[in-house]
Structure 1
């Protein structure tokens, strides 16, 4: 199985001194069950939904040949919220990306992370809820991490101690736990392609 994780700096794991982020921690945990698992981190710092829409297909196709079991995880939206992109614009890009990817591979989406500053955090929450509704309509599994991270002091303590946007190891560790423990992830990762 090969999984491409497509998104922004949160997918990339920016700020983690261990260079794992949540993606590396999720892959490490899942590799214990599937020794042949290969993961590709396609997170790009500062990417908005329009930039992800422009690049995802070529990057994923290069890593998921037809003879391999391929899957795609998307996670983005925080940069859209920070830059005050309208939710309808973000949702339009997300719908196009998810519909196209779903036609070829099993797809899952991880929701928007909370930012420390208001009103950006409010925009992140609104976008997270809207993406959850979109994924339900498209029948794409969705993992919301927003509420779990809002309740995590590690997430905000590390953001405040760092660059103001990205956590370090504990915050990403908590995000990985939320993803791994979610029923949506568990069903998706164990389903046949």
Structure 2
């Protein structure tokens, strides 16, 4: 198995909407057996110039567009955006995550909520706060990986 992490810091769903398909197409050409896992949203909820970088309606439209096209090409999973150290932003992110849940439900795409369990995790939250406010160190990422690894939708890809 080969995997590619195509995340770029500070990118929003609008940024991802413009670049995901060309990048995936280069890595998974026609006839290639593959699957796509998406996770975005925290950067959309960041406040800049007194407003969210991407309005919720646009975030939802971006997610719907990305996931609709993606599921026509490969099996698709989506993981919620994780919490960060900013509690005000976490309120916005939790709300956006709920909207992503509905998008995925309508598209029959499995959606994993990592937001709530990671927000309840002292390891995740302490490491995020100690580093840059958004990213944990290895123990925090291990907790996220355990959530994904124990997810039935993820496991079904490997049976």
**Given the two structures, how large is their TM-score scaled by the length of structure 2?**
0.92
How far apart, CA to CA, are the structure 1 residues paired with 2:120 and 2:152? 19
- Give me the CA root mean square deviation: 1.1
| Equivalent residue, structure 1, for 2:91 | 122
Report the Cα offset of residue 126 of structure 1.
0.7
C-alpha distance after superposition, 1:57-105 (max 9, x if no partner)? 0000000022320111111000001232321110000000000111111
| Equivalent residue, structure 2, for 1:190 | 158
Q: Secondary structure at the match of 2:45?
A: helix
The structure where strand makes up a greater share of residues is 1
Is 1:46 the equivalent of 2:10?
yes
Moved over 2 A (4+): none
| Count of residues paired in the alignment | 154
Q: Secondary structure at the match of 1:119?
A: helix
How far apart, CA to CA, are the structure 2 residues paired with 1:158 and 1:116? 9
**Given the two structures, how large is their TM-score scaled by the length of structure 1?**
0.77
The one of 66, 81, 89 aligned to 1:112: 81
| Equivalent residue, structure 1, for 2:105 | 136
Q: Which has the higher contact order (CA 8 A, sep 6+)?
A: 1
How far apart, CA to CA, are the structure 2 residues paired with 1:68 and 1:184? 20
Gaps of 5+ in 1: 1-36
Within-5 A mapping of 1:16-27: none
The one of 131, 136, 143 aligned to 1:174: 143
Gaps of 5+ in 2: none
How far apart, CA to CA, are the structure 1 residues paired with 2:153 and 2:56? 24
- Asked if structure 2 preserves the Cα contact closer than 8 Å seen for 1:113 and 1:145, the reply is yes
